[in-house]
Structure 1
Amino acid sequence: MFTLLPKLLHHIKTPSRFIRTSCSQRSLPILTLFTKDPCPLCDEAKEVLEPYKHRFVLQEVDITLPENSVWFDRYKYDIPVFHLNGQFLMMHRVNTEVLEMRLAKSEKESV
């Protein structure tokens, strides 16, 4: 079991680069999309987000699942709804100005 680790590390040409890349990915903000299926407005919103996808990790929450009933009660008439790092960001449509501003703020804070 422990003999595999040296072999694995040997195949990674620059372990420090690998570690740096992994850590930087963890520092990307989390954009949570509260959605359901079907949701044409959510599909449209994801298309608008496409040019920004390298700046956040998209997490989708299906509000119709039993374990998400709190979100269903809160957002059933408002999806798509977006939170950035757990804080409300926007609803109904993607506001690119708000998104840009909050992503820039998040990027400054993570430096």
Structure 2
Amino acid sequence: MRPSLRALGAFPRLTLFTRATCGLCDTAKASIAAVAPRARLAAVHTVDIDAPGNERWHDLYAFDVPVVHFQPAEDAPVTKAMHHISPETVEKLLGI
């Protein structure tokens, strides 16, 4: 699920905010993996909110992971889903 650094600037882009030992995060990863081939995402990025350097995301989402951000284009607003991320949730978020 790790894209190349070049792909991180590409759109549409999906970002999963997660942490280790998070059962809901494992479910979210599986849901994204199930839907991603049909979604034609340019980038799927995973952010461990507990990793050094991710304090901003930890402060924002410490009690809310998993969180998924979807941005269809560079100038488009980010839409998000939190907590129970099913394949249907990902499909709805991506508009497919």
Q: TM-score, normalised by structure 2?
A: 0.67
3-state SS of paired residue (1:42): helix
What is the aligned partner in structure 2 of residue 81 from structure 1? Answer: 67
1: CA distance, partners of 2:32 / 2:45: 13
Paired letter, 1:94: I
What is the aligned partner in structure 2 of residue 100 from structure 1? Answer: 91
3-state SS of paired residue (2:21): coil
Deviations 1:11-37 (A, max 9, x none): xxxxxxxxxxxxxxx55x211000111
CA drift at 1:95: 5.2
- Quick check: which one's helix share is greater? 1
Higher RCO, 1 vs 2 (CA within 8 Å, ≥6 residues apart): 2
CA drift at 1:70: 0.7
- Report how many aligned residue pairs link the two structures: 79
Over 6 Å off, 4+ runs: none
CA drift at 1:99: 3.2
Q: What is the RMSD computed on CA atoms of the aligned residues?
A: 2.2
* Kept after mapping to 1: 8 A contact 2:81/2:93: no
Structure 1, unaligned runs of 5 or more: 1-25, 106-111
Structure 2, unaligned runs of 5 or more: 1-9, 72-76
* Kept after mapping to 1: 8 A contact 2:35/2:87: no
Query: Larger radius of gyration, structure 1 or 2?
Result: 1
61-70 or 42-51: bigger deviation: 42-51
44-53 or 67-76: bigger deviation: 44-53
2: CA distance, partners of 1:69 / 1:40: 21
Paired letter, 1:47: A
3-state SS of paired residue (1:66): coil
Q: Does 1:61 align with 2:47?
A: yes
3-state SS of paired residue (2:35): helix
What is the aligned partner in structure 2 of residue 46 from structure 1? Answer: 29
